[in-house]
Chains A and B, each alone.
Chain A
Amino acid sequence: MTRAITYREALGEALREELTRDPSVIVMGEDVGAFGGAFRVTEGLQEQFGRQRVRDTPISENAIVGMGVGAALAGLRPVVELMTANFALLAMDQLVNHAATARAMFGGQVRVPLVVRMPQGGGRRLGPVHSHTFDALFAHVPGLLVAAPSMPADAKGLLKSAIRGSDPVIFLEHEGLYGIRGPVADTDARDDLVAFGRAIVRRPGTDVTIVGISRMALIAWRAGEQLARDHDIAAEVIDPRTLRPLDLETIVASVRRTRRLVVVEEGWPRGGFGATLAALVTERTFGTLAAPVCRVTGADVPLPYAATLERAAVPDEAAVVRAVRQVLSDL
């Protein structure tokens, strides 16, 4: 049996269930306690679990993440909320030089069971420094795990897995996904954990493989529906759900059948995750590809404020449909 809830509610349920299950889980971040979270994800948690375990912090991203690293090393399972991925840049030293390295650098003596959640992405007229998409930035770093769920059930299942895991996780949410509804298992069902490194085929198809990341997984799926309805093109739409580890096998198996790949991401093209995926897939499928891997990405510019400019800079269903039709016309 399933219920339909929002992505935001799914995250809240995951946090509530894990806070209940394990006294070493704590939540900290700016406005997560008294205010219930800038995006309301942590609403009600401080009332239920108290101020020891759900902590409001000052605006000190690097120190907040660093304290999360230390707390994780010393026996807690901290879930740090960064208000947006944009402010994660202030904590990159702790994320890359400390969280990601401690386990390997100390020869396996320690683990860092830290989760750092943050919404990323643009499309809300917030300008260039409040709209970043950092799939590629975080997926670049060995030692980190990176999740980018697009549906409520995956948000809940991956967040639970992340909290129970032993390695630092960058948990990429999206402001444009918090309100979307989707099915999750009934609360009295077994724990619905989603494993890292397992992509999901959202829509089976034969003509082309479309991989969409984070909110672009939703855009890719919608494009798939439109391609079937309006252009008689059967796209196979895959949502990787996690970028590190990446389920490359599912994507390669699909591309071996369809012989065409379109990657959809909101981030910048140079060094984007699509570029990495193109390289990884081409290495494995070169002889069978019917067209070069096509990437639909955010425009290679600092994201502008004006509506017409922002619209031109962020991929939408129409852009994906155009790209697929282009790829299918390459003979």
Chain B
Amino acid sequence: MDERPLPEPRIAQEWLAAMLLIRSFEERASELYSAGEIAGFLHLATGEEATIVGSVRALRATDPLASTYRAHAHALACGSDPGRVMAELLGRADGLCGGRGGSMHIADAERGFLGGWGIVGGHLPITAGFALAADVLGRDDVALAHFGDGAAQQGMFAETLNLAALWGLPVVFLATNNTARPAQAPPERHPDAADLLDRARGMGIAGRRCDGTDVLDVHATVAEAVARARHERRPMLVEARTRRDADAITPLAERLAAAGALDPEAHAALEARARAAVDAAVAFARASPEPDPATLYDHVPPS
């Protein structure tokens, strides 16, 4: 945290606010899930706030982004209305996806967040496809794919990186490597020395590692990768090392305080604002109607 320069206070405070919103949202989603108001699977971004906010803030508004089934925080970081994200989790008509996708399939196309995909690694070639479109259409957009180290075991990971390198596609592959293996995961399930950078290098893709719990390190590293992808028209890999139990938020607050840019009242106000936004989101979601079964065939071509 201390090695990277602090951005100007207004910007750093916005990043802090964005991370606080995610933390507050995910905590509340967890409660609603335990209470049965959210069904299906729920994948929380707790501990990954810095990776998500730091990387999304390194993008332009027109750079498309895709993530795995762990998708709420990406939508929030892109500026989606928390009420519409929460409504989607509750399966209501006012959800971003009309209640059709749920937690794993959040998307906000207007804001460049193109999902939210349920199959591990399935969105990797799709994200490379965004970059292909930019190239053919003469835009200098860069596509960003978030995924976890587990997805790097899928064939699609190797196929996609190979193709992206062959075609020089402007896509940044951001792997969140949660290095703390659960105690019950046997070694034959997960390579011990899983060095993603080595794998990427073997396929002709340059990479960088960063501290996924340090939003400044994430931002600087992803910004550099995005700039190289954009100007050199080549794929890049960034590995963000995190831990599930990490506090990815307090370090930024402490640095802001040390720089005299965040007093305790301001900090408390930011936290209160995040909680209020989530309260409002839950109220909005609960007030939204369930989708009418008469709309079951909407968005499906005829048979």
Contact B100 A67 (CB under 8 A): no
Contact A142 B300 (CB under 8 A): yes
A103 in contact (CB, < 8 A): yes
Of the candidates B107, B122, B132, B163, which one forms a contact with A110 in the assembled complex, judged by CB atoms under 8 Å apart? B107
Of the candidates B95, B125, B135, which one forms a contact with A107 in the assembled complex, judged by CB atoms under 8 Å apart? B95
Closest CB-CB distance, A285 to chain B, in whole Å?
19
Contact A66 B160 (CB under 8 A): yes
B15 in contact (CB, < 8 A): no
> Quick one: which of A60, A62, A64, A66 has the most chain B CB within 10 A?
A66
Chain B, residues 74-102, CB within 8 Å of chain A (1/0): the string is 00000000000000000000011111110
Residues of B within 8 A of A72 (CB): 129
CA A255 to CA B97, docked complex, whole Å: 42
A306 in contact (CB, < 8 A): no
Task: Knowing A52-B136, A98-B122, say if A105 contacts B105 (CB, 8 Å).
Answer: yes
Of the candidates A55, A62, A103, A143, which one forms a contact with B167 in the assembled complex, judged by CB atoms under 8 Å apart? A55
Residues of B within 8 A of A104 (CB): 100, 298-300
CA A27 to CA B64, docked complex, whole Å: 22
Contact A74 B125 (CB under 8 A): no
Of the candidates A58, A107, A244, which one forms a contact with B162 in the assembled complex, judged by CB atoms under 8 Å apart? A58
B235 in contact (CB, < 8 A): no
Residues of B within 8 A of A109 (CB): 96-97, 107-110
A245 in contact (CB, < 8 A): yes
Number of interface residues of B (CB under 8 A): 51
Instruction: List A46-79 residues whose CB lies under 8 Å from chain B.
Output: 52-53, 55, 57-58, 60, 62-76, 78
Of the candidates A58, A74, A94, A245, which one forms a contact with B301 in the assembled complex, judged by CB atoms under 8 Å apart? A245
Residues of A within 8 A of B1 (CB): none
Instruction: List B125-145 residues whose CB lies under 8 Å from chain A.
Output: 125-137, 143
CA A109 to CA B98, docked complex, whole Å: 10
CA A62 to CA B160, docked complex, whole Å: 9
Question: Which bracket fits the contact residues of A?
Answer: 35 or more
Contact A62 B126 (CB under 8 A): no
CA A61 to CA B17, docked complex, whole Å: 43
Residues of B within 8 A of A94 (CB): 122, 125-126
B212 in contact (CB, < 8 A): no
Contact A106 B303 (CB under 8 A): no
Contact A62 B299 (CB under 8 A): no
Q: Which residue of B lies closest to A91 (CB)?
A: B125
B159 in contact (CB, < 8 A): yes
B186 in contact (CB, < 8 A): no
Instruction: List B161-200 residues whose CB lies under 8 Å from chain A.
Output: 162-163, 166-167
Q: Which residue of B lies closest to A72 (CB)?
A: B129
Closest CB-CB distance, B106 to chain A, in whole Å?
9
Contact A197 B302 (CB under 8 A): yes
A93 in contact (CB, < 8 A): yes
Task: Knowing A108-B298, A142-B303, A145-B301, say if A67 contacts B98 (CB, 8 Å).
Answer: no
Residues of B within 8 A of A324 (CB): none
Task: Knowing A70-B132, A98-B117, say if A93 contacts B122 (CB, 8 Å).
Answer: yes
Residues of B within 8 A of A320 (CB): none
Chain A, residues 88-119, CB within 8 Å of chain B (1/0): the string is 00000110011000111111111000000000
Contact B114 A66 (CB under 8 A): no
Closest CB-CB distance, B72 to chain A, in whole Å?
15
Contact B126 A70 (CB under 8 A): yes
A24 in contact (CB, < 8 A): yes
Of the candidates A53, A73, A74, A107, which one forms a contact with B97 in the assembled complex, judged by CB atoms under 8 Å apart? A107
B20 in contact (CB, < 8 A): no
Contact B119 A93 (CB under 8 A): yes
Extra 5 A-B pairs, beta carbons < 8 Å, given A97-B119, A105-B107: A62-B155, A74-B143, A75-B137, A106-B115, A143-B300
Q: List 17 A-B contacts (CB under 8 A).
A: A52-B135, A55-B167, A64-B125, A67-B128, A67-B132, A67-B163, A72-B129, A74-B130, A74-B132, A74-B133, A98-B126, A104-B299, A105-B107, A107-B99, A108-B98, A108-B298, A143-B300
The 8 residue pairs across chains A and B that have the minimum distance between CB atoms: A70-B129, A66-B125, A107-B98, A74-B133, A63-B159, A107-B97, A70-B126, A67-B129
Chain B residues within 8 Å of A, Cβ to Cβ: 64, 66, 95-101, 105, 107-110, 114-119, 122-137, 143, 155-156, 159-160, 162-163, 166-167, 298-303
